[in-house]
Amino acid sequence: MNNLVAFFTFTLLVSLSDQAIELDFCVGDTTLPRGPKGFACKDPANVTTDDFVFTGFRHESFTANLFRSNVTLGFVDNFPALNGLGISMARLDFAVGGVIPVHSHRTSEVIIVTRGSIIAGFIDATNNAFYRRLEVGDVMIFPQTMLHFQINVGRTPATAIVSLNGANPAVQFTTTSLFAGNLPAHIAQQITLLSQDEVMRMKRLFGTA
């Protein structure tokens, strides 16, 4: 037998007694319970190149909605190879006049415009808004947790790719958090100072009045 092979297979031998689990990657096994840091790892013996490739951004994926925009997620739930690796992507599609409403998440985000022209911005904790028109190829950073938004201000549809430094960022949309769920109207009013009428108008818009 070739001596070199002997040398370099010692790792394999070790791993055989450890069920061949390697942590160069930990493709999430979404059939096992999730932990605070992600999913348990799929058996590496069953991992193939397909696990590491995500094709969900090939096409514009558009649903008519009030905001005239769409977010396609490449987060760990859809792309389990991201599990434990601390990074993810999403594709943003905007109809003309489309908007990604104000939201936040527990990671920082970089955006790059790949079609059209948008205004993107964030607001910091001193109520200072930083916003700007971005053209194709332009990049902007939205720091961790800060409220941010994007608006298609061009005459054509727009597309942008964002990357976030977490495998499963929470995307919390402010408007739907307040009006589209089970938060009672009187609480929504008290914690925002919005008028009762406006709160009820918003809740009717989301079918929760």
Residues annotated within the binding site are: 103, 105, 109, 148
Task: Give yes or no for residue 140 binding a second copy (CB under 8 A).
Answer: yes
From the CB of 154, what's the least distance to a second copy, in Å? Answer: 14
End-to-end CA gap in the chain: 76
User: What's the closest the beta carbon of residue 5 comes to a second copy, in angstroms?
Assistant: 6
- Chain Cα centroid distance, residue 168: 7
Q: Does 99 bind a second copy (CB under 8 A)?
A: yes
Q: Which amino acids are annotated as binding site for Mn(2+), given as ranges?
A: 103, 105, 109, 148
Is residue 136 at the binding interface for a second copy, with CB under 8 A as the rule?
A: yes
Cβ proximity of 97 and 150 under 8 Å: no
Could you tell me the sign of the dihedral formed by the alpha carbons of 34, 39, 45, 46, in that order? positive
Q: Which residues contact 41 (CB under 8 A, 6 or more apart)?
A: 21, 23, 25, 26, 27, 28, 29, 83, 84
CB count within 10 Å of CB 16 equals: 10
Q: Give the footprint of a second copy on residues 30-89 (CB under 8 A).
A: 30-41, 48-50, 52-59, 63-67, 69-71, 73-74, 77-79, 81-89
Does position 96 bind a second copy by CB under 8 A?
no
Which are the contacts of 124, defined by CB distance < 8 A and separation ≥ 6?
130, 143, 146
117 counts as binding a second copy under rule CB under 8 A: no
In the bound complex, what is the minimum distance in angstroms from residue 143's beta carbon to a second copy?
Answer: 5
Q: Closest distance between a second copy and the C-beta of residue 152, in Å?
A: 10
Is residue 158 part of the contact set for a second copy (CB under 8 A)?
no
